[in-house]
Amino acid sequence: MIGKVFGIIFQPVPTWHEVAGMSEAELKRYLKYPAILALIPAVAWFYGTTRVGWSVGGRETVHFSAGSAAAIAPLFYLAQLVAIWVIGYFVHWMAQTYGAESSISKGVVLAGFCATPLLLFGAFGVYPLFWLDFLVGLVAVSHAVYLLYLGIPIVMRIPQERGFLFASAVVAVGMVMAVVVMVATVILWDMGFTPTFTD
163: enclosing H helix or E strand: helix 160-188
Closest CA to 100 of 162, 14, 22: 162
Confidence of residue 190 (pLDDT cuts 50, 70, 90): confident
- As to burial, measured by CB atoms within 10 angstroms (0-12 exposed, 13-18 middle, 19+ buried), residue 175 is exposed
Instruction: Answer whether residue 2 shows pLDDT above 80.
Output: no
Vertex 180 angle, CA 5 and 187, to 5° = 120
pLDDT at 101: 87
Confidence of residue 185 (pLDDT cuts 50, 70, 90): confident
Residue-wise pLDDT tens digits, 4-50: 899 999 999 999 999 999 999 999 999 999 999 999 999 999 999 99
Instruction: Answer whether residue 199 shows pLDDT above 70.
Output: no
Average pLDDT estimate for 59-76:
89
CA distance 150 to 166: 11
The DSSP symbol for 102 reads -
Report whether 111 contacts 82 (CB < 8 A). Answer: no
Average pLDDT estimate for 77-102:
95
Residue-wise pLDDT tens digits, 115-162: 999 999 999 999 988 888 999 999 999 999 999 999 999 999 999 999
Rounded alpha-carbon distances, angstroms, from residue 77 to 44, 147, 198? 11, 22, 23
CA distance 166 to 156: 10
